[in-house]
Chain A
Amino acid sequence: MSRPEDTLQADVHYDDVEARKYTTSSRIQNIQASMTRRALELLDLNTPSLILDVGCGSGLSGEILSDITPEEGGPHVWIGMDISPSMLDVALQRDVEGDLFLADIGQGVPFRAGTFDAAISISAIQWLCNAESSETSPQQRLARFFGGLYQSLKRGGRAVCQFYPKNDVQKQMITSAAVKAGFGAGLLEDDPETKNVKVYLVLTAGQSAVANTKSGDITGVVENMEGVDVVDNRRQAKSGKGEIKKGSKQWIIKKKEQMERKGKVVKATSKYTGRKRRIAF
């Protein structure tokens, strides 16, 4: 599969022609709808909520949020941000219910603290791994995005970002940027090791992060979800990379994970074994 993310800027790739093609494809409509439903399931909202849709495009993800029935805890109200005028134009023509912003999420999230109950992002944040200009780096843009997202969510609020990482390096770059911003983070993969694999970054903002650091579970909520791996590289980040002592538990874990990545079978290490393990820190 070709990845326009690797060569083009998002607003250049999603021009009028591409935006129309994207939005009218019934294959894409179905995939985006089912991923949005999966994200909603992970958000687990039970009352009508205010939701941020990051990289909302032409509204294929957002309109699912508007369509949730009162019986299912909806309908939700959403605000969408997107960098492509053409995608937003299609959203306007389709008369979506959410409010739309022409904005670059790599520049931050311009809402006051605690605005949103939750956030979703469907097929967008991998674009942040490419700097939009020579003046910024992907790391800076990811930091602004996750920092802003963290602020704009109410404490205890969740965000679920489905994205298409190019490789493990990108997966880790994105996850560690989220953790650095203060989020409790977990990665979930549907249909792993197939070409239809879908990666969801599940984030929680605040509260439980402080309460549970001792057990290594900084997410509290994410821990109990099926198929979610808890990622906690905050302590590791503090002690610095080169400091893991040979033979220590951390070192053994790291080695095991390295072997795992190479496809070797290794002995179970933690209380998270038995869960699908997809990412190694």
Chain B
Amino acid sequence: MKVLTLNFLTCAVKSCKSSSDSFPLHPKDAELASDDVEVNPQLLINLLPRLDWKALKTTSTELGFPQLPDSPPTIEDLQSDEKLLKDLHSLLMETNLMEGKLVCGVCGHEYAVREGIPNFLLPSHLV
């Protein structure tokens, strides 16, 4: 699962829906893998306004990457700074969570991740 996806994923437990701390989920015992993906600048420009930068900072730190700047780049930054574009691309699109768990900060539910696939099936009393 891409880091990009983590920036949109929330806890599925019903009682967590209203709580802002159920996002982002926190990786635990994470094993990462890097994929080769062709850069798609248009896609990143499309997604940039939708990213939750604060959450991305948290995730990136939790995964052991160097600190991201406090504020997101602008679309103009992405268009003019190729290195910046590449770096963002490599974090969002090429970095994959392969094994481990995703933990909700509210209810503590742990979603297992195997071979890159998180298990979001919930026991019925949590739905």
Q: What is A's interface to B at a CB cutoff of 8 Å?
A: 47-50, 70, 75-77, 79, 81, 83, 88, 92, 97, 99-104, 107-108, 110-112, 114-115, 117, 133, 135-136, 144, 154
Q: What is B's interface to A at a CB cutoff of 8 Å?
A: 1-2, 4-5, 8-12, 23, 37, 40, 42-43, 46-47, 50, 52, 93, 115-122, 124, 127
CB <8 Å contact, A117 and B117: no
CB <8 Å contact, A103 and B121: yes
CB <8 Å contact, B5 and A99: yes
Quote the shortest CB–CB distance from B85 to chain A (angstroms): 14
CB <8 Å contact, A102 and B5: no
B46: chain A residues at CB < 8 Å are 47-50, 117
Q: Which residue of B lies closest to A151 (CB)?
A: B17
Once the chains are docked, how many angstroms separate the CA of A104 from the CA of B127?
Answer: 10
Quote the shortest CB–CB distance from A218 to chain B (angstroms): 25
A108: chain B residues at CB < 8 Å are 12, 127
CB <8 Å contact, A107 and B117: no
CB <8 Å contact, A99 and B116: yes
CB <8 Å contact, A100 and B124: no
* Most chain A beta-carbon neighbours within 10 Å: one of B5, B116, B118: B5
Give 9 A-B pairs besides A83-B121, A107-B127, A108-B127 with Cβ atoms closer than 8 angstroms. A47-B46, A48-B42, A48-B43, A77-B93, A92-B116, A97-B37, A112-B23, A114-B50, A135-B124
Once the chains are docked, how many angstroms separate the CA of A136 from the CA of B1?
Answer: 30
Once the chains are docked, how many angstroms separate the CA of A154 from the CA of B43?
Answer: 15
- Counting residue pairs across A and B whose Cβ atoms lie within 8 Å, the total is 80
Once the chains are docked, how many angstroms separate the CA of A49 from the CA of B45?
Answer: 10
What are the 8 tightest A-B residue pairs by CB atom distance, in nearest-first order?
A: A48-B43, A103-B120, A110-B12, A115-B8, A102-B119, A48-B42, A99-B5, A100-B117
Query: Would A110 and B10 be within 8 Å (CB), given that A47-B42, A48-B42, A79-B5 are in contact?
Result: yes
A99: chain B residues at CB < 8 Å are 1-2, 5, 116
Query: Would A92 and B115 be within 8 Å (CB), given that A50-B47, A101-B120, A144-B127 are in contact?
Result: yes
Quote the shortest CB–CB distance from B112 to chain A (angstroms): 9
Q: Which residue of B lies closest to A133 (CB)?
A: B124
B116: chain A residues at CB < 8 Å are 92, 99-100
Q: Which residue of B lies closest to A100 (CB)?
A: B117
CB <8 Å contact, B124 and A88: no
A50: chain B residues at CB < 8 Å are 43, 46-47, 50
Quote the shortest CB–CB distance from B93 to chain A (angstroms): 8
Contact partner, A102, options B4, B93, B117, Cβ 8 Å? B117
Q: Which residue of A lies closest to B120 (CB)?
A: A103
Once the chains are docked, how many angstroms separate the CA of A135 from the CA of B127?
Answer: 11
Once the chains are docked, how many angstroms separate the CA of A254 from the CA of B122?
Answer: 42
Once the chains are docked, how many angstroms separate the CA of A50 from the CA of B37?
Answer: 15
Quote the shortest CB–CB distance from B53 to chain A (angstroms): 14
**21 A-B interface contacts by CB (under 8 A):** A48-B46, A50-B46, A70-B42, A75-B40, A75-B43, A77-B40, A77-B43, A77-B93, A99-B116, A100-B1, A101-B117, A102-B117, A102-B120, A103-B12, A103-B120, A107-B121, A108-B12, A110-B120, A114-B50, A117-B46, A135-B124
Quote the shortest CB–CB distance from A241 to chain B (angstroms): 29
B40: chain A residues at CB < 8 Å are 48, 75, 77
